[in-house]
Amino acid sequence: MIDIRYHIYSLAAVFLALAVGIVVGTSFARSTPSDSAGRQTILRYENDMHVLKDEISKAHDDAASKDAVVKACQDYCKTVMPAVIKNRLLWRNVAIIQTGDYDDLTGTVKQALELSGAHVISTTEISRDFPFDDNSKIAEILVNSGLGTGSDGKQSRDKLFRVLAASVCSAKYANLVSRLEDAGIATFTGDYGKQCKLVVLVGGSSGDESNTADTVDAQLISQMDKLGITIVGCETSNAGSSYVTTWHKMAIASVDNAESAMGQTALICALNGEVASFGTKPTADRLIPKTLESQ
């Protein structure tokens, strides 16, 4: 949303330029205008500036009022959220996989999950530096891990993401987690000896150049789908480059304002099975989960 104050300031600049033009023009004119005409010009300009000052003041007051209302709504949602999400994921094992740039969001999401009664069994941070498009590097890691390579680059890549998905969700490759971390693929924190059916992807990047939604998220989702995992992608409302479009293509629920209480509530509902693009961005189709509207 564009602040109206910028328009007003621009308009003030136009008036100032006109005034300067009048002064310069009269300085080089062959005939000097009368004192009366000059005074009228100055008076008109002063009046216009008074009007602009009033508009700027009004715009500032309106913006402050709207900001206060928004903050009050956010504070209210934050206050009632614990009661709304309480026990909605009681005793459910949930894994978090961070694929984006926003580390703080991962901690925020973890807190919301725990408020809902969930057990966050692991947090996996996918490396932002590992070349997931380098087939030879992937093949080397698979061989060193004793997994063998695929017949081509695509099969090797699929195999790597299949191992990652199984390591997080099914405890099948718990013994390989340390090797994968040593290879620079990801950082693994938590208990990978437990199984889970719920996964939260924490995505969103600071810019398009670091957006790995297609190279990482899409591959992980494809492999976790085969394991019957419920996956929800989430990011911040101010993410420089959004992952939502890719998540939507992969047919999973998404939350584009997960830093807010409203977004965290939607995240919990999505993990309970409600599939939608939640949030406030143009890509969102819902703000409030249907499961809450029906209560």
**Listed range (36-50, 101-115, 150-164) with the worst mean pLDDT:** 36-50
Contact, 199 vs 168, CB < 8 A?
yes
Based on the fold, state whether residues 71 and 102 are members of the same structural domain. Answer: no
Based on the fold, state whether residues 139 and 77 are members of the same structural domain. Answer: no
Based on the fold, state whether residues 71 and 95 are members of the same structural domain. Answer: no
Q: Distance between CA atoms of 285 and 270, rounded to whole angstroms?
A: 13
* Residue 241's CATH number: 3.40.50.2300
Based on the fold, state whether residues 96 and 200 are members of the same structural domain. Answer: yes
Q: Which pLDDT belongs to residue 189? A: 98
**Listed range (9-13, 33-37, 111-115, 227-231) with the worst mean pLDDT:** 9-13
Q: pTM (2 decimals)?
A: 0.78
Answer with the one of 57, 81, 105 that is the final residue of a domain: 81
**Number of alpha carbons in the 13 Å side-chain half-sphere of residue 99:** 31
* Domain tally, the chain: 2
Q: For residue 76, what are the contacts with CB-CB under 8 A and spacing of at least 6? A: none
If you average pLDDT over residues 87-94, what whole number do you get?
Answer: 97
Pairing mode of beta strands 93-98, 186-190: unpaired
pLDDT tens sequence across 204-255: 999 999 999 999 999 999 999 999 999 999 999 999 999 999 999 999 999 9
Answer with the one of 30, 49, 81 that is the final residue of a domain: 81
Q: Distance between CA atoms of 146 and 148, rounded to whole angstroms?
A: 6
Q: How far is CA 148 from the centre of its chain?
A: 36
Q: Distance between CA atoms of 288 and 255, rounded to whole angstroms?
A: 11
Q: Which pLDDT belongs to residue 2? A: 43
Helix 35-85 vs helix 261-271: crossing angle, to nearest 10: 40
Q: Which pLDDT belongs to residue 66? A: 72
If you average pLDDT over residues 89-94, what whole number do you get?
Answer: 98
pLDDT tens sequence across 178-204: 999 999 999 999 999 999 999 999 999
Based on the fold, state whether residues 72 and 90 are members of the same structural domain. Answer: no
Domain that holds residue 40: 4-81
Based on the fold, state whether residues 247 and 125 are members of the same structural domain. Answer: yes
Q: For residue 291, what are the contacts with CB-CB under 8 A and spacing of at least 6? A: 269, 272, 274
- Of 293 and 269, more confident: 269
Contact, 220 vs 201, CB < 8 A?
yes
pLDDT tens sequence across 123-155: 999 999 999 999 999 999 999 888 887 778 889
CA-wise closest residue to 176 among 186, 227, 153, 118: 186
Each as own residue / partner, the long-range contacts of residues 140-146 (CB below 8 Å, 24 or more positions apart, any chain) are: 141/180, 141/183, 141/185, 144/179, 144/183, 145/176, 145/179, 145/180, 145/183
Q: Place 50 in a pLDDT band, splitting at 50, 70 and 90.
A: low
Based on the fold, state whether residues 75 and 125 are members of the same structural domain. Answer: no
End-to-end Cα separation, the chain, in angstroms? 33
Q: Which pLDDT belongs to residue 246? A: 98
Q: Distance between CA atoms of 115 and 83, rounded to whole angstroms?
A: 9
Q: For residue 218, what are the contacts with CB-CB under 8 A and spacing of at least 6? A: 246, 249, 250
Based on the fold, state whether residues 179 and 271 are members of the same structural domain. Answer: yes
Q: What are phi and psi of 173, to 5 degrees?
A: -115, 35
Q: Which pLDDT belongs to residue 78? A: 78
Q: What percent of the chain has pLDDT over 90?
A: 63
Average pLDDT, the chain: 85
Q: Which pLDDT belongs to residue 67? A: 73
Based on the fold, state whether residues 37 and 180 are members of the same structural domain. Answer: no
**Listed range (3-17, 77-91, 93-107, 207-221) with the worst mean pLDDT:** 3-17
Answer with the one of 81, 99, 124 that is the final residue of a domain: 81
CA-wise closest residue to 137 among 153, 155, 117, 116: 153
Residues in the chain: 295
Q: Distance between CA atoms of 152 and 1, rounded to whole angstroms?
A: 48
